[in-house]
Amino acid sequence: MADVVVEKQTTNESQQEQQKTTEIKHSEVGHKSLLQSDALYQYILETSVYPREPEPMKELRDITAKHPWNLMTTSADEGQFLSMLLKLINAKNTMEIGVYTGYSLLATALALPEDGKILAMDINKENYELGLPVIQKAGVAHKIDFREGPALPVLDVMVEDPKNHGSFDFVFVDADKDNYWNYHKRLIDLVKIGGVIGYDNTLWNGSVVAPPDAPMRKYVRYYRDFVLEFNKSIAADPRVEICQLPVGDGVTLCRRIS
């Protein structure tokens, strides 16, 4: 009987250690999911996402996975979500701030009608050109107006021209988190009433609820306070309705109402 008790105790301890290992592993995974387990996230991908992922997006996802900065990419489930959202709101004229290799950009381009347009801005054209051949092969490059450099000066020029006010149906922001509110102050004039602005990474690796002294990667700690401040500010903005979703690393949707 004593041997059985010891065996059960050893088994329980082994299971606890395995659970701890799984939790640690999940906190380090690159897909940026905030779900409680890798297995649950994998189920979503294999059941609902990968079977419906367009071949060009799969190709670009595979290319991006080999890039040293691949943590910056939009997750496949978020790409699917953006595609569905764009179709639901019948978006035609859109903007993307922060492009990287272009996975979310390709999702947008494929979702837009043939005459749809995307103003895409990023400070690194080299990363964009990594995905450009795939975008061209998909037959949607004509929808994209890519501009290399900081987005704020471009937005300032656009805001000065009243013709640009209310001209965008949808904007997706996945760029420098310390400028999210600066982007918002300009984009609120450029997106139409009823239009949507999506801000990525607003749950920031889950760090938004972590104690200040919790162990974090340097870049996570650096931007954490900016993300917290943005979340607080956007929640108090009466010009938009908001919905914060635990998709990818957190996406906040803002529907302009005034």
Q: Do the beta carbons of residue 252 and residue 244 sit within 8 Å?
A: yes
- Residue 37 pLDDT: 86
The per-residue pLDDT of the chain, averaged, comes to 90
Strands 251-256 and 240-245, bridge-based pairing: antiparallel
User: pTM score, two decimals?
Assistant: 0.87
**Contacts with 151 (C-beta within 8 Å, 6 or more apart), sequence order:** 97, 121, 175, 183
- Residue 34 pLDDT: 72
**Distance from C-alpha of 12 to C-alpha of 250, rounded to nearest angstrom:** 35
The number of C-alpha atoms within 13 Å of 80 and in the hemisphere containing its C-beta is: 18
Q: Kindly report which listed range (1-15, 121-135, 235-249) carries the lowest average pLDDT score.
A: 1-15
Per domain, the residue ranges of the chain are 1-30, 31-256
Statement: residue 118 has pLDDT above 60: yes
Statement: residue 24 has pLDDT above 60: no
Q: What SS3 class is residue 255?
A: strand
Buried b (16+ CB within 10 A) or exposed e, 214-223: eebeeebeeb
What is the CATH topology of the domain spanning 31-256? Rossmann fold (3.40.50)
- Residue 36 pLDDT: 75
